[in-house]
C-alpha cells in the first residue's frame, strides 16, 4: 500500500496517493478542502482503502453481517427484485435476521450458528413459510458473497428446515382450503352480484387468480368475443409512499385464460352498470391512472387504466376490503377456514377432479413449475375420492368376470 501524503494548500489541507500507472505513467488521486492535516490523512486513508478494494466502502474480510446485508440489498436486490419483494426482505432482515446475526463478521458465520437461528425460529412456532423465506434470504445473500469472493464457501449450504413430521414443533400455519360447494353457495348468497367484493371473488373462484391479480384486472383484459381474461398485472401496497402500485404478476406469469359463459355474462352486466354510472356522475366519476413509478393515482398522471373492481362512483375497490369480508364469513357465516386464496385452491381442485391435464392447470394458475401445482393445489375432494374408489373396484376385476354380476356371484358362494 502506497504512502498517503498530506500538504497544506492555502488555508486547507490536501491528501494524495499513487494509483496504478497507465501506459507507464504514474497517476495520483488527490483531494483538498480539509481543515486539518489529520482530517486530510483520515479521508485519504479511507479513499485509498476504497481504491484498493475497487471502490468498495468496506474491507470484505472485516465487514459485519449486518453491514453486508445492506450492501447485498443495495448491490443485488435493488437491481434484480421487485419492489414488493425488496420490502418483504427488508422487513424480515430488520425484524429477524439483523437482531440475531447482525453482530457477527461475515467471515465468522458458521453452519451451526445459522442452523441454531433457524431452529430457534421454529421453536418460536413461526410458520414454515416464514422459515423458508428466512432461509432463502440467508442462502441468497451468502451465495452472492461467495460469487464475489468475499467468503470462500456459503455456511448455509447444509442448513435445513425442521422436518414437517416433527410433532414437537407444531409450526404456526394457515393452510388454504378447498371450499365445499355448499359453502361456496352460502358465501355468494351473502355477497351477491352488485356487492363490493362479488366480482373479485368470482374472478378468483372461476379463474384461479391471486388476490392482487383479481383486484388489478381491467376491462382491456377482457375479450368478450373469445371468452378470455388476460392476467397481466397485480396490485400491491407501497407502504413507504402510502399508495397502491401496479406490477407484473408473480413470477411474471402473464397469461390468457378461458372463462365460462356465466362469468362472462356477469362481467357484461357489470360493464353496462359502470357505463351508466359514469354517465350519471359525469365529471365526478373517478378515473384511474398509472404514473411512471407504476403508482395508481386519480390525479390524471400517466396512462389511464379502466379497472373492473370499482364502486358506483368509480373509486377503486382495493384488496383490503377482504379483511372485512373474511371477518363476516368467519364469524357471521361460521366458516372459519376461509381466506381469499382458498378460492384459488378450490378452482384448481375442481379442474383436477374433472380430469383437466396438470400442465394446463399449471399454466392457468401461473406457477413456475408443475411441482408447485401438484404439491399445494390439489386437495382430495369427495369427487376425487369417489373416482379413486371406482378405479380401485375396477382394477382387480378379472377380464372374464362381469362386474354387474358380482352380487349374484357372492350369493352363489354363500
Q: For 341-366, write each residue's pLDDT tens digit.
A: 999 989 988 888 888 888 888 999 99
Position 372 in a domain: no
Mean pLDDT of 265-292: 97
Q: Are residues 206 and 286 in the same domain?
A: yes
In terms of domains, do 203 and 283 share one?
A: yes
We report the CATH number of the domain holding residue 143 as 1.10.150.130
Q: Would you state the pLDDT for residue 407?
A: 45
What's the mean pLDDT in 177-183? 91
Do 201 and 140 reside in the same domain of the chain?
Answer: no
Tell me which residue of 101, 98, 110, 113 sits closest to 153, measured CA to CA.
110
- The domain boundary, picked from 128, 147, 166, lies at 147
Distance separating alpha carbons of residues 209 and 347, to the nearest angstrom: 9
Inside any domain, residue 343: no
Mean pLDDT over each residue of the chain, to the nearest integer: 87
CATH of the domain at 273: 1.10.443
Q: Do 185 and 286 fall into the same domain?
A: yes
Count of domains forming the chain: 4
Q: Which domain holds residue 123?
A: 65-147
Query: 167 in a domain, yes or no?
Result: no
Answering whether pTM is above 0.75, one says no
Is 276 among the domain residues?
yes
Same domain for 190 and 222: yes
Let me know whether 46 and 75 are in one domain.
no
Instruction: Report the percent of the chain where pLDDT is more than 90.
Output: 60
Q: Which residue has the cell 449450504?
A: 157
Domain boundary among 306, 332, 358: 332
The residues near 136 (Cβ < 8 Å, ≥ 6 apart) are none
Sorting pLDDT into bands at 50, 70 and 90, what band is 408? very low
Q: Is residue 373 part of a domain?
A: no
The whole-angstrom separation of Cα 203 and Cα 207 is 5
Task: Identify whether residues 9 and 126 lie together within a single domain.
Answer: no
- Return the pLDDT at 95: 93
Classify residue 114: in a domain, yes or no. yes
Q: What is the pLDDT of residues 187-219, one digit of tens each?
A: 999 999 999 999 999 999 999 999 999 999 999
pLDDT at position 17, please? 85
Same domain, 88 and 212: no
> Is the domain of 43 the same as that of 69?
no
Q: Kindly report, residue by residue over 129-157, the tens digit of the pLDDT.
A: 889 999 999 999 999 999 988 898 999 99
Pairing of strands 222-223, 228-231: antiparallel
Structural domain ending residue among the three candidates 301, 332, 363:
332
Backbone φ/ψ region at 227: left (φ over 0), alpha (ψ -120 to 50), beta: left
User: Pick from 271, 297, 295, 306: which is nearest to 199 by CA?
Assistant: 271
Answer yes or no: do 31 and 84 share one domain.
no
For residue 58, pLDDT over 70 is answered with no
309 and 257 in contact (C-beta within 8 Å)?
Answer: no
Residues 303 and 403 in one domain: no
Is 341 domain-assigned? no
Pair (263, 220) in one structural domain: yes
219-227 average pLDDT score: 97
What's the rounded mean pLDDT across residues 325-349?
94
Amino acid at each position: 500500500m502506497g504512502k498517503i501524503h498530506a500538504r497544506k494548500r492555502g488555508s486547507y489541507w490536501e491528501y494524495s496517493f499513487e494509483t496504478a500507472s497507465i501506459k507507464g505513467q504514474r497517476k495520483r488521486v488527490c483531494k483538498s478542502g480539509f481543515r486539518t492535516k489529520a482530517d486530510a490523512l483520515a479521508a485519504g486513508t479511507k479513499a485509498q482503502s476504497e481504491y484498493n478494494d475497487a471502490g468498495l466502502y468496506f474491507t470484505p474480510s472485516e465487514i459485519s453481517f449486518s453491514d453486508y446485508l445492506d450492501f447485498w440489498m443495495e448491490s443485488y436486490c435493488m437491481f434484480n427484485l421487485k419492489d414488493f419483494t425488496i420490502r418483504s426482505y427488508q422487513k424480515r432482515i430488520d425484524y429477524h435476521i439483523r437482531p440475531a446475526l447482525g453482530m457477527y463478521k461475515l467471515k465468522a458465520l458458521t453452519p451451526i450458528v445459522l442452523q441454531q437461528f433457524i431452529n430457534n425460529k421454529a421453536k418460536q412456532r413461526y410458520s414454515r413459510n416464514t422459515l423458508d423465506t428466512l432461509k432463502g434470504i440467508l442462502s441468497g445473500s451468502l451465495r452472492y458473497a461467495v460469487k464475489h469472493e468475499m467468503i470462500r464457501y456459503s455456511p448455509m449450504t447444509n442448513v435445513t428446515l425442521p422436518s414437517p413430521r416433527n410433532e414437537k414443533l407444531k409450526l404456526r400455519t394457515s393452510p388454504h382450503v378447498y371450499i365445499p360447494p355448499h359453502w361456496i353457495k352460502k358465501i355468494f348468497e351473502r355477497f351477491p352480484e352488485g356487492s363490493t367484493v362479488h366480482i373479485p371473488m368470482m374472478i378468483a373462484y372461476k379463474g384461479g387468480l391471486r388476490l392482487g391479480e383479481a383486484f388489478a384486472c381491467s376491462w382491456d383484459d377482457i375479450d368478450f368475443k373469445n371468452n378470455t381474461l388476460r392476467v397481466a398485472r397485480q396490485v400491491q401496497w407501497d407502504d413507504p409512499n402510502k399508495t397502491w402500485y401496479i406490477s407484473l404478476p408473480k413470477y411474471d406469469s402473464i397469461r390468457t385464460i378461458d372463462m365460462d359463459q356465466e362469468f362472462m355474462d356477469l362481467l357484461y352486466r357489470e360493464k353496462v352498470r359502470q357505463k351508466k354510472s359514469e354517465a350519471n356522475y359525469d365529471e365526478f366519476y373517478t378515473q384511474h391512472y398509472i404514473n411512471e413509478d407504476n403508482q395508481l393515482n386519480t390525479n390524471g398522471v400517466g396512462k389511464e387504466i379502466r379497472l373492473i373492481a370499482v364502486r358506483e362512483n368509480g373509486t377503486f375497490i382495493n384488496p383490503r376490503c377482504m379483511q372485512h369480508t373474511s371477518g363476516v364469513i368467519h364469524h357471521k357465516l361460521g366458516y372459519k377456514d376461509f381466506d381469499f386464496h382458498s378460492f384459488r385452491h378450490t378452482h384448481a381442485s375442481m379442474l383436477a377432479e374433472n380430469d383437466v391435464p396438470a400442465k394446463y392447470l399449471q399454466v392457468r394458475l401461473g406457477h413456475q413449475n408443475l411441482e408447485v401445482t401438484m404439491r399445494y393445489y390439489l386437495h382430495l375432494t369427495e369427487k376425487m375420492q369417489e373416482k379413486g374408489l371406482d378405479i380401485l373396484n375396477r382394477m382387480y376385476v378379472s377380464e372374464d368376470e362381469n362386474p354387474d354380476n358380482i352380487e349374484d356371484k357372492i350369493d352363489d358362494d354363500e
